[in-house]
Amino acid sequence: MQGILLFAHGARDPAWARPFETIAARMREAAGGRPVALAYLELMEPRLDAAAHALAAQGCTTITVVPLFLGAGGHVRRDLPELLARLRAQLPAVTIRDTAAIGETEAITRAIAQAALTLVDDPRAGAPAA
C-alpha cells in the first residue's frame, strides 16, 4: 500500500497550519483510500519520522514524501535528504521516495499567479468571514 506524507516547515502559531491541514484533508478525499499524513520539520507535531512510522504501522510499503515548500531551499535540498536517509535506515522494508517541492510545479506557480491577481482585484477575496 502506498502512503502519502505531506511535509511542511512548521511554525509557533497553530493557525499557520490551517492551509496545510486543509490540503491534507482534501488529499484524503481524493487519494483513493491511500493514507495521507501531514508532518513538520520543526516547531509542530508530528515530525517527519513519527508520521512515516505511523504510515508504516498502517501497512504502507511505499511512502511518497511531498515537500509543501514554495521553493527548494536548504530545507528541501539539505535537511530533507538527511531525514529521508535516516528514515530509510529505520524502515528498511519501506520504499521511501520524495518529490520536487510543490511550489516548483507548473500547476502551483500558475495557481498562485491567478490567486495573486484575484487578490489584486479584490483584496478580501478568500478571507475568512469576520
- Give the Cα separation of 8 and 67 in Å (integer): 6
- Give the Cα separation of 56 and 17 in Å (integer): 24
- Is 75 a known active-site residue? no
Cα angle value 18/70/36 (rounded, 5°): 50
Task: Write down the catalytic residue from 3, 8, 9, 20.
Answer: 9
> Closest Cα partner for 28 from 4, 51, 55?
4
- For residue 78, the Cα-to-chain-centroid distance in whole angstroms is 17
- Give the Cα separation of 97 and 29 in Å (integer): 22
Active site residues: 9
